[in-house]
Chain A
Amino acid sequence: MKIPVLRIYTIGYLLFLYCPILILPIFAFNDSTAVAFPLQGFTTEWFQNVFHDAVLGKALKNSLLVAASTAVISTFLGTLAARANTRYQFKAAGPLMGLIMLPMVLPEIIMAMALLVVLLSIGIPLSLFTIILGHVLVCTPFAVAILTSAFQSLDKSLEEAAYDLGEGPFSTFRLIILPLVMPGIISAMLICFTISLDEFIISNFLGSGEPLLSTFIYGQLRFPKNVPNIMALGTILVGVSITLLALAEFFRRRGLARTGAKDSGGFL
């Protein structure tokens, strides 16, 4: 019998990828401040601490506000760029798209520092708003990537049919194109929400000290006795992220099914 080396390797690799987020919930329920085997017993104490932490409540509120605003703005900007790039051919498209997609590969620290220095020199005070400005920059490329595939799978003849039947460009967009790419838009919003929720560098440097979930977690790591609380909070966060991603994937597939495209898989 042939040994499926590649399959075993891939499953091993997946285990390596999942190792940290699989170990996380185990110790979130472990009745010991030390994160080590053997396990000491079951407790929900750490989760109770999480739910009763006032600063954390504030951080959660701030993070949700930032993530929701980021998701809406980046998806709107992403829709415009993806539509322009797939529907029209123009010379400036290449360089402009390059600039828009640049944050995907640019080290975040460089972006954060450049933005920070400029904001400070023109006198814009740091706040949740400046964090949103930075997050939109980071999330827009992902929205563009998802929406580009959504727009590409559109059949152009549907649009032409609408024109032939007397609709203008705006009503065609609203009545024909928007419903078809809606799943892509929802998927992009969910992804942007998730990225913003987990983003740390920009939240850390462009914020005014107002806590966000990621900066709160980072700040707690200095105190070993708080580690189990962080594991409980991390378990919740990872759970939320995975749920949002599963939803995003569901909408992405539904969008592809709706336009009759072949599923090539993956977000990017």
Chain B
Amino acid sequence: MSEPLKRPRFWGSQAASGLALISPTALYAILLLAAPLAATLVYSVMTDGYLTVIPQFQLCNYVGECHSQLADGTMSPDGYLGAWSDPIVRTLMARSLFVSILVTAATVLLAYPVAYFVSFNVAPSKKALWLFMITIPFWTSYVIRVFMWNVMISRTGVINSVLQGLHITSDPLQMSFTIQAMVITLAHAYAPFAILPIFVALEKIDRSLLEAGQDLGETRFTTFLRVTLPLSMTGVIAAVLIVFIPTIGDYVTPNLIGGGKIPMIANMIEKQMLKADNRALGSAIAVSAMLVVGLVSVVFLALNRRYLKGPK
């Protein structure tokens, strides 16, 4: 404090100060996130041994048939199929992809009007309150919310008891253990994730552009199509990615709503990593899931840039 003139020079370089300040957080993320993810990648191309992974390069965890190494150093005679060759893994991957695309479409389409309403029809002083109301359910326990859906849709649950009590249906509807139920539960869980980015994009739109559109003879609806919607595409894209990526790896919903009967890829990763103790194959499935997510996201962004003229 006694040498205020020297301090700024010592801290002078922006890069040095910034790096020094961010380094604890960055180091934490590198050690506990980047390194484990890299390890998963490395494990996925190694040989499975009993309870360990043997550093011997191979690609059979992805394609073809693989053999685990036994404790005495010999290879197990019983092989297992790699992630891309195993029809079960392929089925689960396709199902996870299908469910998360459905969830993403449902969530974003249902969320857009809500974001639009809060941005355009709510008085500025009340916007924060509306957003707070929208985010509250999201911050309550996910397990409890999924469990509540399970209770509501079961054969003897809330919805069936109401439908039968009002004599709308005579027999209970079978809603549990269906993909539709999983989609509704997940769309419910990720709703705020979709609303917030779209809202932010809508807020940034210069309102005079809309007046200009209408002055130039567009109707309200065509103004929306030609001005508002294209300008809000950044938010829609963010919403799509932020819903799609975590959904494909959802673990709780397939277990509680699907009753374990409709497993998704996350349940397979868990099974291989823990119950079957095949960390090499488990890693390969995890890496494959991320590859699929990444590929679909890239294709989505490319299509969007090509046909909707959205930003990258």
Contacts and interface: CB of A to CB of B under 8 A. Distances in A.
Interface in A89-117: 89-93, 96-97, 99-100, 102-111, 113-117
Contacts of B162: 37
A171 interface: yes
Nearest to A168: B1
A163 B8 contact: yes
Contact of A20 (B114, B135, B148, B290): B148
Interface string A4-43: 1011011001101111110110010000001111100000
A117 B282 CA distance: 10
Interface in B242-270: 242, 245-246, 248-252, 256, 266, 269-270
Contacts, number: 278
A157 B142 CA distance: 43
Contact of B141 (A16, A77, A99, A238): A238
Interface residues of B, number: 94
Interface string B139-155: 11111110111111010
By size class, the interface of chain A is: 35 or more
Contacts of A155: none
B117 interface: yes
B196 interface: yes
A37 B161 contact: yes
B113 A6 contact: yes
B251 A108 contact: yes
Given A13-B110, A37-B162, A99-B26, A230 B128 contact: no
A117 B39 contact: yes
A102 B29 CA distance: 9
B17 A88 contact: yes
Contacts of B199: 266
Given A13-B114, A18-B137, A214 B248 contact: no
A140 interface: yes
Nearest to B53: A121
A227 interface: yes
Given A77-B24, A114-B286, A21 B145 contact: yes
B283 A117 contact: yes
A194 interface: yes
Interface in A198-235: 198, 200-201, 205, 214, 217-218, 221, 227, 230-231, 234
B25 A106 contact: no
Nearest to A119: B36
A107 B250 contact: yes
A110 B289 contact: yes
B156 A36 contact: yes
Contacts of B25: 77-78, 80-81, 84, 100, 140, 144
B28 A234 contact: no
Contacts of A14: 133-134
B139 A195 contact: yes
Contacts of A169: 7, 11
A115 B36 contact: yes
B39 A20 contact: no
A109 B141 contact: no
B45 to A, nearest CB: 14
B40 A113 contact: yes
A18 B132 CA distance: 13
B234 to A, nearest CB: 15
25 contacts: A13-B110, A20-B137, A23-B148, A23-B151, A35-B156, A36-B156, A36-B158, A77-B28, A80-B21, A81-B22, A84-B21, A107-B266, A109-B266, A113-B286, A117-B36, A121-B52, A171-B1, A198-B143, A205-B270, A221-B147, A221-B150, A231-B151, A241-B141, A245-B132, A266-B128
Given A35-B157, A163-B4, 9 more contacts: A21-B140, A23-B158, A35-B156, A88-B15, A108-B246, A117-B43, A144-B25, A201-B251, A221-B256
Interface of B: 1, 4, 7-8, 11, 14-15, 17-19, 21-22, 24-26, 28-30, 32-37, 39-40, 43, 52-53, 110, 113-114, 116-118, 121, 127-128, 130-137, 139-145, 147-152, 154, 156-158, 160-162, 165, 188, 191, 196, 199, 203, 241-242, 245-246, 248-252, 256, 266, 269-270, 273-274, 279, 282-283, 286, 289-290, 293
